Structure 1
Amino acid sequence: MTKMINIQPSASTAEYRYARGWHCVGEADSFRDGKPHALNVFGTRLVAFANDEGEISVLNAHCPHMGADLSTGEIVNGRVVCPFHHWEFQSNGRCASIPYCDRIPPKAKTKSWLTCEVNKLLFVWHNPEGTGPGEGVEIPYFPEIDSDEWNNDWHMDLMIIETNPRELVDNLSDIQHFGPVHGAPCTYFANIFEGHIGTQEFHGDSGRLGGGLVAKSAYYGPATHFTRMRAEYEGRTIETILLNCHVPITPNSFELRFGVLVKKNPEWTDEQNNEVAKQYVQANRTSFYQDVDIWKTKARVDNPVLAEGDGPIYQLREWYSQFFMDEKDIPEKLKERQEIVTMDKQAG
């Protein structure tokens, strides 16, 4: 399901720098259909396709010959074929065949993007400096995605939101919106920022998602957010993994993918488990879309006036800023562990 969400623009397009990191562009199997797929991301156009072995590649979409869009071509023998003159490009971006010429020009190639496939999702690496990820900068694998104990296909929604991604990332430290927006007052809330990972732990109650709600979540870089959640829902314990990831289209728009995995109840039939999973997924969607409704009309505020108990908004934004600068310029303090407990009612 794809939705278009119109939200007030919030960042200048002049010399905008897109964040360094892994970005999810969809469920991996969706690219294994024998067709080229257009990706309008990072202010440009890419093409994703799978070869005969099912390995997925992402290339710059415009042919270096005469500029045609490779994503409007076709896949033949694992190569993407330009619709204009039928030049064929292999997974590394090099031209492998020209139907009317035996000699392939050395410059007949297009950029190949670094990709990885984790948790049945396809990720593309973006870095304006042109280098790959540093040691430990990776998307974590969740074994639940391959476990028979879980409904292990993502129940995925895709929407296009017209604002800067920072509005989404701010939620990681915004404790005070949970009560007014989601009806889920908080009893414990903490953030940890360390290197490229920013985490949140939330305890509270939700009329929609269940009582005794415990949610432990993390951004792995600027754009990929997973949450492990547990709550008491309709008389049973529900365990879920939430996916909340985005990839920028322009400075003022991004694709957002929201997905949910739900653990099965071993005492129930597959039909019963699927029905409860559908209900709980819908409850999560409804809760998440309450945030989206706020983003539709809110303005960008770079220097918000904060009150005591608002959460570490400025610390989060400082952590987030590292993905928009050269790696050599990242301050050492952003690599160190910083733990902030905003609320702890359980401890009195």
Structure 2
Amino acid sequence: MSMLASTPMTNQWLFPLEALHATPSAWPLQKELYDRARGIEFLFRLGSSLFLPTSAILTAAAWFHRFYMRFPMEDYHRQEVAASCIFLATKTEECGRKLRDVARVCQAKILNQDLAPESKEVEQCQLQILLTEEALLEALCFDYVVESPHSKLVDLIEAHGQEGTRVAEVAWSFAHDSFRTTLCLHYSPQIIAAACYVLAQRVCDGPNSNSLDARIASSAPRTSLPTPPTHKPASPDAARFAIEYFAFGESDLACVAESLSILLEFYRAQPEHENLAEYVVEIAPPVTPGPADALRPAIPAPASASASPTSKPASG
């Protein structure tokens, strides 16, 4: 097993972008990213077909990415790892499913046909899930805790009074799609949630609204000369609500900018993705400070149509 270590960040599961060039896989980075995206696609479909709660599916998705920071992709097929992540999540997230049921649905999706629970293919899949689960437990170091950006996004949406709005729905979709990239390996849930919300606001506000740079600037740009103070408090800038809500500093804002750029690259790679990309691809990415832009790889499009655990904010 590779002992690729995370550099000093906030926890052992946050890696700098350049760590993607040092994963255990011998494949070119583009191929690895492509298969990661395809694996998450399969994982989402498997979890949805098993009617798992969103929290379990997203936990499994985070484990999937963490696994391949410790083990090579060429040794463990993405579908087997996805199935093992889903099966383990059904146990840790208290939404138990029988191993046979997970294996049956997994094989049905791989072979594109229904299978009897006692079929040879299902029996073999059960064994492979258990074998891969052993490696998964080793890779995770029995650390099952995952905090997804969705929990932070729910808090943000409620604080802004945006429940049930299109902004909330679009931000929720962006948060799902963030797992098709490697964002969860690089940035905290707050950073990803803020990036998804800011991008959703930009999409919903239209092409003539504030740029992403203006929305994530360290201080709101002045549009006029200062006016004498009044007894009324200044109205908050709705376009900067996420940035103010999380009270981000300069380094945090740089991470938000990088996250936005990665999300935009993802959508540009698949122009028909969930009918959102036609709006997203026209948005200019923020000016990212520092050398991270040169280290960020392009995110390829998955081979199949997309699937998300759910299409709108929900707790289950």
Q: As a proportion of its length, which structure holds more helix?
A: 2
**TM-score, normalised with respect to structure 1:** 0.24
Name the structure where strand makes up a greater proportion of residues.
Answer: 1
The structure with more radius of gyration: 1
TM-score by length of 2: 0.25
